[in-house]
Amino acid sequence: MERIIGIDLGTTNSCVAIMEGGVPVVLSNKGGYKTTPSVVAVSENGKRLVGHIAKRQAVTNATNTVYAAKRLMGRRWGSPSVRTMLETTPFTIVEGPNQDARVKLRDRVYSIPEISSIILQEMRLIAEEYTGEKIEKAVVTVPAYFNDAQRQATKDAGRIAGLDVLRIINEPTAAALAYGFGKNIDRTIAVYDLGGGTFDISILRIADGVFEVLATGGDTFLGGEDFDGRIIMDLLVLEFARAHQIDLRRDAMALQRLRDAAEKAKCELSSARETEINLPFIISTGGSEALHLQQPLSREKLEELTIDLVERTIKICRKTVEDAGEEIDDVLLVGGMTRMPLVQQKVKECFGIEPLRGVHPDEVVALGAGIQAAALLEDTQGVLLLDVTPHSLGIMIHGGLFSVLIPQNTTVPTAKSHIFTTVKENQTQVKIIVMQGQSERAAENELLGEFILTGLRPAPKGAVEVEVTFDINADGIVSVQAKNLDNGQQQAITVTATSGLSDEEMQTMIQENQDYLVDVRSAEEVEKTKLEAQRALMEIERVFPSVRDQLGGFDFGQDAIKKAEGVISRAKSAIEAGDMSAIKSSNEALGRTLNMFKGVLQRIG
Amino acid sequence: MSTTGADKARARELLEQGASLYEDGNLYDALGCWKEVLDLDPGNPIAEEYLRFVRESFQIDVDAFLTHQEEPPAAETLSPPEAGLDPPSTPGSVEVERMDWGQLLDEGPELLEDVPPVPEDLAESVDFFVDLQPGGLSSAPGEGAAAWGRQTVQLDEQYDSVEMSLDVSLASLEDQDPMTMPTSVFAQGAGDGKRQFAEDSVEILPELRDLGEDVSTARLAEIVRQGIAEIEGTGGGAGVPRALISAPNPATSADGLMAEARRRQQLGDFSGSLELVEQVLARDGEHEEARAFFEENRTRLFAMYRSRLGNLGHAPRVRLRQQEIVWQSLDHREGFILSQIDGRTSFEDVIQISGMDELDATRILARLVEHNVIG
């Protein structure tokens, strides 16, 4: 049976879920963790690292480790997010050939969809490991504010990873689905999502299976890492410097350990009232001595260090609720940071209602994606989300204003027309500038494309009418047509969201990824075969002395021992050289030798 | 008795293991390893050289020492005279008796009467600094760069252990470690700070004075190494035992270093050979033979360390409790590697995430396994 997975492709962590017996379940990775850090690195020897292992070397191999790539997804070079990232990240961000932002790891430049594809592929492999089947389709979640380009980039990432992304759904919508908000509900909910690197607040109106986004707010540079940062900077580094006059931040290894320990302590303090951070041998002094870091941390102290961060999220919440202009019926908590008691308390105070927290906050978005994935497969779950336009679509009009033709949250497919008139005397042409966004000022919205309709009749301003039609088909492709109502002459363009990757580039990346997978699998096979050989060798060497004692006295025995030594020596050389075919043939010879030895020992025995 | 290929391979492993134990300050087990090498490969020149070095440096009878270790002396005997790390008596130096600091601290102050040169408030280690403060690189204190080297000889709670390290730093004079005093050799304890040990080493510095501020750390390291060798050669650093690795007189020319590196490699002393070719490469990064030796030594060492680790896919666990860990003698790099051991992360992954040179990370893991800290 075909399976579709649901993936929460997060800024800091990612998670995959699948429907099992009518219940969505989150799948664990090889390390037993249900979430996988959205971190990709290339090690010194060129090996690609993903997830926990990549995160754990993020400080010691900072320039070749990409984290929070989602912040760059679908962003143009020069956009505010890219500029902020350029200033704050240790890895190198470069301009791509299509004015997109890309990252450089070692000597190779990667597009952002490629980086995300590595994470999506990891999710796919986790699901394949669990199901034992090949997985080719997925539902992937994105923040509610993602525009077409960012959604398209996410789809492209899926394609590179060998996944057909059937549906992109909003993260708050997925969270609501996981909490059981479905077809027969009519409510307004707030989804408070405080993750590792970003904060999002979304107000949704759910009615008749349509999840309408009323308002979104957030801060893409505020999350759990900032809380960890306070523990590191305002407590651990400061206290250590006071005691030893040593700045631990200067040592990459010490800093990596501080980060890991701060995150661990923060998590512990969600359930415990006190914890202790113990980091033996954190740094060596000029002499031969290594110093230990030992620091108790209470929940009260953590709250004191981070209260302003929590207050920042609450301020954003208040403004977003005001923008939505509706009474909130329910509040959902999403993201690992919402386990912090202080966060729960402040959210409760802000909304005046007890937040729902029945579903694991790290897994809730993936679970919702899993539910939607199953619903796409067969409509037995009673849930079928309708695709809606995430932003308003329209054209720029006189005065730099934005005239909306298709409002945000309109279900697709749809088509809308509007008649405009000329604004100048004897105007013979009009420029149609197609945009998307929520601002009334055109300059603050995103340009999708433009074209010129010529051959207008020279006439006083306002006398010539032009009909502009927007058409969005079921695949989300937008067509814009401008028609001169005087003579029926028309001009049109089709706007296809682009992630900044050309078709040719996409094909190359898909091929490279497939080649990479083949290489990894063959390397794994070599390792497995090598391991078999090493095990057989160990066993043979263990029994060799007894066999030698038994057989050494006979000519035929000496001959057998000589041959066995030859087999051992050839196997060792083959292992050292990593020669797959030689190891395989050695394995057979080792097996025969071991059998022979066992036979000899049994006879003695 | 003939020596088989397997014996030779085992002998090479034991040689490295012995050197590693020696570096960790475990003389007793190191000697055991080298003695075992001679059992497997009688007349092995490198094992004989190591044993000769220990005999001469510490004035001990190795067999008696090993036997003695199996039967510890009575408490009042503190240490066997033949096993003493007695520095030659030099004017201006402090004589350091060979002693068991752990035992001293445990058994009470009355035993301290037997160790007059070392104040009782010293903790478990004594350091000797060979300071190579040049004083000639900047026109006035606090301006420009200064360089110094430091050779540390540590006597830890096992009195027979010797650990040496060499650090070379560039820093402004103002940033100097206050413990680092110019042109002198000091004995330093964790208790009251420093004691003057011997005065020498001024003469080795003219070369440093001629260097500009842009001198590379590698070049400084080389100069400092040479300087220390000179101190040892003149006996100025009396009481500072030569590092095992530099037991033969270090060759100063690239050709001399390469000749010694070849000899070491043939004898199976790959880490010794590697250290020498690194010195050659620090002078001339394009030296072809040195590069080839560098690669080969690394490959051999990798193989040896990896064989100690076994299956690289194995996820080791920490075998000690938190309170036991702090009593280990580790540096911050070893501490970092140890902090990555969680029972879920394989050796291979720990090496990948360490951010260290792969050989260094593998060597540290092998040592932690050997010492039963992880497994």
Q: Which amino acid is at A488?
A: G
Take residue A571 and report the two structure tokens written for it. 């196997």
Residue B182 and residue B188: Cα distance in Å, rounded?
A: 14
| The pLDDT of residue A297 | 97
Distance of CA B88 to the CA centre of its chain: 21
Q: Which of B5, B335, B352 sits opposite A282 (nearest CB)?
A: B335
Q: How confident is the model at residue B139 (pLDDT cuts 50, 70, 90)?
A: very low
* A267 CB neighbour count, 10 Å cutoff: 17
Do B332 and A292 count as a contact with CB atoms less than 8 A apart?
A: no
Kindly determine whether residue B330 and residue A290, on different chains, have CB atoms separated by under 8 Å.
yes
- Our CA angle for B222, B224, B228, nearest 5°, is 120
pLDDT of residue B359 exceeding 60, the answer is yes
Cα A589-A525-B369 angle, rounded to 5 deg: 85
Q: Is the pLDDT of residue B194 over 70?
A: no
**Contacts of A478-485 spanning 24+ positions with Cβ under 8 A:** A478/A393, A478/A434, A478/A448, A480/A395, A480/A432, A480/A434, A480/A449, A480/A451, A482/A430, A482/A432, A482/A451, A482/A453, A484/A453, A484/A455, A484/A456, A485/A419
Amino acid found at A82 = V
Give the per-residue pLDDT at A434.
92
Give just the sign of the alpha carbon dihedral A318, A320, A324, A328.
negative
- Chain A hits for B355, Cβ within 8 Å: 57, 59-61, 252-253, 256
What's the pLDDT band for A443 if we cut at 50, 70, 90? confident
Question: Comparing C-alpha atoms, which of A14, A17, A15 is closest to residue A6?
Answer: A17
CB-CB contact of A38 with A12 (8 Å):
yes
At residue A593 the predicted structure's pLDDT band, cuts being 50, 70 and 90, is confident
pLDDT at A55: 92
Yes or no, beta carbons of B355 and A254 under 8 Å apart: no
Indicate if the pLDDT at residue A383 is higher than 70.
no
CA–CA separation, A269 and A277 (whole Å):
12
- Residue B143 structure tokens: 């301006």
Mean pLDDT lowest among A129-138, A236-245, A363-372, A531-540: A531-540
Highest mean pLDDT among A442-456, B153-167, B233-247 belongs to A442-456
Q: Give the closest residue to B18 by CA, choosing from B32, B4, B39.
A: B32
- Facing residue for A61 by CB, picked from B163, B335, B355: B355
- Mean pLDDT (chain A) is 89
B252-304: pLDDT as tens digits: 578 888 888 888 887 777 888 888 888 888 888 888 999 998 988 888 888 88
Give the pLDDT band (50/70/90) at residue A514: confident
Q: Output the pLDDT for position A500.
A: 73
Amino acid at B88: P
Contacts of B154 in chain A (CB under 8 A): 288
Residue showing tokens 């730093």? B169
Number of helices (H), then strands (E), in chain B: 14, 5
Joined tokens for residue A463: 């006398």
Contact B177, B44 (CB under 8 A): no
Q: Over range B127-136, report the average pLDDT.
A: 31
Q: Taken in order B35, B39, B44, B48, is the CA torsion positive or negative? A: positive
Token reading at A291: 């110093």
For residues A6 and A368, is the Cβ–Cβ distance under 8 A?
A: yes
d(CA A206, CA A388): 13
**Non-local CB neighbours of B302 within 8 Å, separated by 6+ positions:** B358, B359, B362
> Concatenated DSSP letters for A198-236?
-EEEEEEEEETTEEEEEEEEEETT-SHHHHHHHHIIIII
Distance separating alpha carbons of residues B368 and B318, to the nearest angstrom:
9
Average pLDDT over residues B213-225: 45
ipTM of this predicted structure: 0.72
Disruptive mutation site among B127, B329, B332 for chain A (greatest number of A CBs within 10 Å)? B332
Q: Which of A171, A228, A362, A363 is catalytic?
A: A171
A266 is catalytic: no
> Measured between alpha carbons, how far is A240 from A391 in angstroms, rounded to an integer?
50
Q: End-to-end CA distance of chain A: give it in Å, rounded.
A: 54
- Spatial separation of the C-alpha atoms in residues A372 and A152, rounded to whole Å: 19
| Cis amide leading into B80 (omega within 30) | no
Residue B52: pLDDT over 50: yes
- Predicted pLDDT of residue A537: 86
Q: What is the pLDDT of residue A387?
A: 66
Rounded mean pLDDT, A577-600: 85
Q: Say if residue A480's pLDDT is above 80.
A: yes
H/E stretch holding A524 reads helix A503-551
Mutation target vs A (from B352, B362, B367, B373; most A CBs, 10 A cutoff): B352
Query: What pLDDT shows up at residue B2?
Result: 58
For residues B114 and B75, is the Cβ–Cβ distance under 8 A? no
Q: Would you state the pLDDT for residue B296? A: 87
Tokens of A49: 């690292």
In this complex, the residue of A49, A286, A290 whose CB is nearest that of residue B331 is: A290
Q: Are B159 and B99 in contact (CB under 8 A)?
A: yes
Give the closest-approach CA distance of B202 to chain A in angstroms.
Answer: 21
A20-53 pLDDT, tens digit per residue, is 988 999 999 988 899 999 999 998 878 899 999 9
Query: Which residues share a beta bridge with B75?
Result: none
Share of chain A above pLDDT 70, in %: 97
- Whether A353 and chain B come into contact, CB under 8 Å, resolves to no
How far is the alpha carbon of B74 from chain A, nearest alpha carbon, in Å?
Answer: 31
- Name residues whose C-beta falls within 8 Å of residue B286's C-beta, 6 or more positions apart in sequence: none
CB contact under 8 A, B339 and A257: yes
- Record the tokens describing residue B262, joined without a space: 């070849």
**Helix B45-58 with B27-40: angle, nearest 10 deg:** 150
Tokens 């997978």 correspond to A517
Residue with tokens 């293991």: B17
How confident is the model over B289-303, as pLDDT tens digits? 999 989 888 888 888
Residue of A114, A148, A156, A193 marked active site: A193
Would the CB atoms of A292 and B326 count as touching at under 8 Å? yes
Q: Dump pLDDT digits (tens) for A74-120.
A: 888 888 888 888 888 899 999 998 888 999 999 899 999 999 999 99
Percent of chain A residues past pLDDT 90, beyond the cut: 51
Name the residue with tokens 């900047």.
B138
The closest of B153, B159, B154, B157 to B105, measured between CA atoms, is B157
Three-state DSSP state, B338:
helix
Whole-angstrom Cα distance, residue A155 to residue A499?
Answer: 9
A329 assigned to active site: no
Residue B96: count other Cβ atoms within 10 Å of its Cβ.
Answer: 22
- pTM given for the model: 0.67
Alpha-carbon distance of A156 to A170, in angstroms, equals 17
What digits encode the pLDDT tens for the residues A284-295?
A: 886 667 899 999
